[in-house]
Amino acid sequence: MRDNSYSAVMARKNEIMKRAVGMDYDKFESGSIAFDYEAMMAATGYTLEAVRKIQTEEFQIGNTPIYELKNLTALARACAPEGMGARIFVKDEASNLSGSFKVRRAATSIYQARKMGYKGVISATSGNYGAAVAACAAKAGLKCIVVQECFDSKGVGQPEIIEKARKCEALGAEVVQLTVGPELFYMFLRMLEETDYFNASLYTPFGIAGVETLGYEIAQQCRLTLGRDPDMVVCTNAGGGNLTGTARGLLKAGCKAEVVAASVNLSGLHMASDHQFNLKSFTTGHTGFGMPFSTWPDRSDVPRSAARPLRYMDRYVTVNQGEVFYTTEMLAALEGMEKGPAGNTSLAAAFALSQTMPKDKIIVVQETEYTGAGKHVNAQLSFARSNGIDIHFGNPEDEIPGKSIILPAHPSMIKARPADMTHLRTSLIHNAIKMTGKTPTDADIDFLAAETKTNREFVKEHLA
């Protein structure tokens, strides 16, 4: 009989994870702060071409189209100074199985689980990833459990999260819905231990390797249709896997486009707060995940996260809730494309950034997602209004997360606000020392330079 108390289960987490992923993370450790990230990524045993073959032949995903948003580009140019207004393109990942880019992450994990003989898979997610895992598990003939952080303590759940639960169930998954708090990880560990299922985590090397095909396709498609690489690729950033995988794929294609992270500003709201859980109108792609996971990636559900966004991002910008809702409606009204909120976070940022770039430049928004009843703008705004959130048109600069959602009175008011990259990089260095309790070695300094996309001098300066 196992001791299933909270403390006992948490004490067994590394043992549980090792059995559930089939990967020995210890072999990549240095005994200090550093670990061999590239060796961990290579340990999947899959090349980029192998992953592409798995995705297209086994799961019929990938090779999604890229569209030029000509009307949005024209509007951006109308708001921009003379000669400015880069062309805006979007990679339509909503045309994938399950309706989002996350099926790329799921396919590699599910393929690996079946290859290793697991009978089923478990994923802890309140987002599109659950539907992606359920869809791929259905195709692979594996059982699937999706664990959701769904409700506050009063049993009230966000429309967008409820929508995703319905989609997971429709695709054959068993959905376990929990209240916000530490019980999510505890129950996730217990189910992994009791079922001996594969941990289809967002943060394994298998998942990140799956997203590399997205970045690779962007480079290849731009070269084929435009005769050149994009100048900028904008990625919605939450846990960091979207940006990490896309950037790695771009690099593998030899593309050196500027990689920009974009998140919805939810500053002041705590993601684990029962009271504040339903005061946010975005369940992913926001700063409540984006900032903490950027500055300490290993807060994830595996010993070492393969999502390391600060290794790859050149800039980090934020947009406000009202701006994303407005952009969602703008995309539908001007381009005839009705998409969910996650991809429209990066689209809102791209619309603003376009106005700062010459007309001959190219921006690619690297994903869209499906929309549905609970993910629709009206559902989320109605839910916000029922929770006492003030919703009106005005200046988005006046928006206060948890208190107001301000739709811009004019599209020129949509802004991409720069985050302090030096502060983020310094925070990662400080967190590495705090969380490991180690004094940095010479090898650690090299590792931290790679982690922050800087150099040894930067790391030494901020260690001092």
Q: Each residue of 215-237: pLDDT tens digit?
A: 999 999 999 999 999 999 999 99
Which pLDDT score is estimated for 83? 98
The whole-angstrom separation of Cα 198 and Cα 204 is 11
Token duo for residue 74: 């024209």
The model's confidence at residue 14, banded by pLDDT at 50, 70 and 90, is: confident
Q: At residue 99, what is the residue type? A: G
Higher pLDDT: 88 or 182? It is 88
- DSSP labels, 381-423: HHHHHHTT-EEEEE-GGG--TTTEEEEESSGGG---EEP-HHH
User: Which residues, 6 or more positions from 145, have their beta carbon under 8 angstroms from its beta carbon?
Assistant: 120, 121, 122, 123, 173, 174, 175, 176, 191, 195, 197
From the number of C-beta atoms within 10 Å of its C-beta (0-12, 13-18, 19+), residue 198 rates as buried
Residue 298 identity: D
Q: Please tell me the predicted confidence (pLDDT) of residue 183.
A: 86
Average pLDDT over residues 261-279: 91
Could you read off the pLDDT of 283-315 as tens digits, one per residue?
889 999 999 999 999 998 899 999 999 999 999
SS3 463: helix
- Determine the residue type at 136: C
Long-range contacts of 386-392 (CB under 8 A, 24+ apart): 387/278, 387/279, 389/279, 389/281, 391/322
51 strand-pairing partners: none
Q: How do strand 417-418 and strand 315-319 relate by DSSP bridges?
A: antiparallel
pLDDT at 127 exceeding the cut of 90 = no
Rounded to the nearest 5°, which phi and psi values hold at 314?
Answer: -95, -30
Task: Take residue 275 and report the two structure tokens written for it.
Answer: 């009271």
Q: If DSSP codes are grouped into helix, strand and coil, which group holds residue 167?
A: helix
pLDDT of residue 284: 87
* Statement: residue 85 has pLDDT above 90: yes
CA 63 to chain centre: 20
Please give the structure tokens belonging to residue 225: 């249709």
Q: What is the pLDDT of residue 168?
A: 95
Closest by CA to 448, choosing from 30, 21, 12, is: 30
* In contact, 120 and 142? CB cutoff 8 Å: yes
pLDDT higher than 90, residue 440: yes
263, β-bridge pairs? 318
Average pLDDT on 76-93 reads: 98
* Residue in the block written with tokens 């880019």: 101
Q: Which are the contacts of 420, defined by CB distance < 8 A and separation ≥ 6?
A: none
- CB under 8 Å to 234, separation ≥6 — which residues? 260, 262, 346, 347, 349, 350, 353, 363, 364, 365, 366
- Residue 273: its pLDDT value, please? 86
328 Cβ contact list (under 8 Å, min separation 6): 339, 340, 341, 344, 377
**Does the structure show a pLDDT above 90 at 195?**
yes
Give the pLDDT of residue 1: 81
Lowest mean pLDDT among 9-18, 53-62, 208-217, 247-256: 9-18
Minimum mean pLDDT range among 65-69, 280-284, 456-460:
280-284
299 DSSP assignment: G
DSSP-assigned letter for residue 457 = H
pTM of the prediction? 0.96
> Per-residue pLDDT for 271 more than 90?
no
Q: What is the pLDDT of residues 337-394, one digit of tens each?
A: 999 988 999 999 999 999 999 999 999 999 999 998 889 999 999 999 999 999 999 9
Q: How far apart are CA 125 and CA 117, in angstroms?
A: 23
Burial class (CB in 10 A: 0-12, 13-18, 19+), 7: exposed
Q: What is the mean pLDDT of residues 11-25?
A: 91
- Number of neighbouring beta carbons within 10 Å of residue 63: 14
